[in-house]
Amino acid sequence: MAAIDPSVYADSVAHYAAWAAARLEAPLEYVHVLDRHPEAATVADYSGNLELGAREKLLQDLASVDEQRGKLAQERGRLLLQKAVGISVGLHGVPAESRMRHGSLVDTLTELEEDVRLFVLGKRGEHADFATGHLGGQLERVVRAVHRPLLVASREFAEVSRVLIAFDGSPTSRKGIGMVAASPLFRGLDVHVVMAADTSDQASTHMAWAMDELRHAGFQPTSAIVPGVAEQVIGSYVKEQSIDMLVMGAYGHSRIRQLIVGSTTTTMLRTCRIPVLLLR
């Protein structure tokens, strides 16, 4: 399921969703959520300062403006979904359904996730401040709320042939290796596994396990143990090896924003110019 909005990521989301659906041989659905964003400009209501007749007229005008705005939003959503389905069918040969919902994006995705194998979203939505380089607030809320893998699309779509798995030997990252090994999404791709750690017997043992798991699944993986801070090690490796997609574990479900900002996951989402697949 791919969430489409009027941001610059819309086409990329449509492409990556179709790419994933084709490899997974899974049904694809695009969803657009009509939500009243607090960031959007609204028409000021001065009706309390007017005489009765003028106030009623103004209230009618305001209601008419809201109605028109709602109709335009629905038409824009219809066109966005129509274009996404066109990309999927016309450029990837993947049939797709679409739906429009009212409410919040987070509530919509959590309500529908029982039947979803993979979510696809853009890194930033239409109201995100691109100048700051921060992630869209909607994305952070979705990552904390959903329990399915989430593919965060980059601004431009590119065919995926080389994948990097960020690995640290923890139970969570071992589970991620197992998910990659078992998923048809990665079948036939060039898989790299990187640990940001000093060379040690423990790090080597963890990496040997990961290599064995992937080889048993039919991959011919490349491994690297690189000393340094995880964010810098991963970022440098992505650039030097021309990686097309980063795979890593998602951060936890804490609602306290301070516990998320500054984490490796957030940093990589914010700075990487390639899609990031977050595993749960």
pTM: 0.83
pLDDT for res 48: 53
pLDDT for res 132: 44
pLDDT for res 205: 95
For residue 31, the tally of other CB atoms under 10 A from its CB is: 22
Q: For the domain covering 2-39+72-152, report its CATH number.
A: 3.40.50.620
Domain boundaries, the chain: 2-39+72-152, 160-251+259-268
pLDDT for res 262: 43
Token digits for 78?
């219809």
pLDDT for res 126: 54
Q: What is the pLDDT along the chain (280 residues), one digit of tens a residue?
A: 999 999 899 999 999 999 999 999 999 999 999 976 544 444 455 445 556 667 777 777 677 777 677 788 889 999 999 999 999 999 999 999 999 999 999 999 999 999 999 999 998 655 544 444 455 567 888 888 899 999 999 999 999 999 999 999 988 889 999 999 999 999 999 999 999 998 888 999 999 999 999 999 999 999 999 999 888 999 999 999 999 999 988 754 444 333 344 467 777 788 889 999 998 7
**Parallel, antiparallel or unpaired: strands 276-279 and 150-153:** antiparallel
pLDDT for res 51: 61
Do 160-251+259-268 and 2-39+72-152 have the same topology in CATH? yes
Strand, coil or helix: what is 99? strand
Alpha-carbon distance of 245 to 164, in angstroms, equals 6
pLDDT for res 256: 38
Alpha-carbon distance of 135 to 137, in angstroms, equals 6
Q: For the domain covering 160-251+259-268, report its CATH number.
A: 3.40.50.620
Strand, coil or helix: what is 30? strand
158 Ramachandran zone, left/alpha/beta (phi>0; psi -120 to 50) = beta
Query: How far is residue 148 CA from its own chain's centroid?
Result: 11
